[in-house]
A and B are shown apart, each in its own frame.
Chain A
Amino acid sequence: MMMIKMQPTMTVSLSKDTVQIVKEQDVVFLKNRVKEVAVRIKMGLVNQTRLITAASELVRNMMRYGNGGVCVIEVVSSGRVNGVRLTFIDKGPGIPDIAAAMRDGFSTGKSLGLGLPGTKRLVNEFDIKSKVGEGTTVTILKWANG
C-alpha cells in the first residue's frame, strides 16, 4: 500500500453526509451539496470554486476508473476555523503507482493528467490511499478562509 500524505490537522467533525455516485446526474447533485455546505460555513467564493472544481475532478476519476462509489461530505473544525472535508471512496481497480498518478501530465486514460496533481494544488489537505484490486480513497480538506 502506497500513501502520499500532507501533515493532517486535528479536526472535529461537525456534520456528515454521504452521497452515492453511480450515474452522471449524481455528479451534479454532489456539486450542489458541496456548494450548500461551503456556503453554510461562509467559505469565500474563490475557495468554493476551488473546492467544487476539486470535487468535480475526483468524482470524475471515481466514475471513470472506479465504477462509481461514495462521497462523504463533512463540516470539520480545527477549533478556530471551519472547513469542508470530502472523502471519495471507490472499490475500483486501485492505482498501482500513486507517485506517477500524482505527476502532472500522467494519465492511463486519454485525459490531460491534471486531475490528481491539479486537485492537490486547489485544496489545503490532500490524502490518497489505494490498494490494487480493492479500491481507492481520496480525502481533501478546504478551510473556509485557507
Chain B
Amino acid sequence: MDKIPILRMGAFLLVTIQVDLYDRLALNLEADLVQMVNKTNAKGVLIDISAVSIVDSFMGRIIGNIASMSRILDAETVVVGMQPAVAITLIELGLPLKGVHTALDMERGMNFLKTMIDVEADDDDQDAADYDSIAE
C-alpha cells in the first residue's frame, strides 16, 4: 500500500505528493494529515503538488477537505506548485478551490504560512524574537 510521507518542520507539516494520486491514496492522506495536525499541534500544513499532473473533482474535494479540517483544528493549509494546466482544468471543471490558500512555490508558501501564523507567540521562539530585536 502506497503512503504519502508527512514531514514535520517546527510548527508546520510538509507534504510532497510525488505520485499521481488515486482515490484511496488521497483519502488516506486526508486521514493521516488530520491525525498528524492533531498529534503534533501543527499550526500550518504545506502541500506541494508540483509533481501532480491530474487533479480531478475528487482530488480537488480532498484538498478542500484537508484545508477545512485543518482549519477547525487551528492549522492553516497552503497548496503550492500547482501546474498551470491543472489550474486551467480545475476552473473549467467548476472547482475553484475556494478557501484553500495557494502559493506559486515552496518558498513563497512557507513565507505565507509564517506571516499568517504568529510563530513568535510560541515559547520556543521567544529567544529568537529577542535576539532579533537586539540585532536591530
List residues of A whose CB falls within 8 A of some B CB.
24, 27-28, 31, 45-46, 48-50, 52-53, 56-57, 60, 104, 111-112, 114-115, 117-119, 121-122
Contact = CB atoms under 8 A, between A and B. Distances in A.
Interface of B: 20, 22-24, 53-58, 61, 83-86, 88-89, 92-95
Contacts of A117: 94
Interface of B is mostly: helix
B61 A46 contact: no
Interface of A is mostly: helix
A122 B92 contact: yes
Contacts, number: 67
Nearest to B59: A56
B57 A115 contact: yes
Contact of A60 (B55, B58, B84): B58
B58 A31 contact: no
B20 A114 contact: no
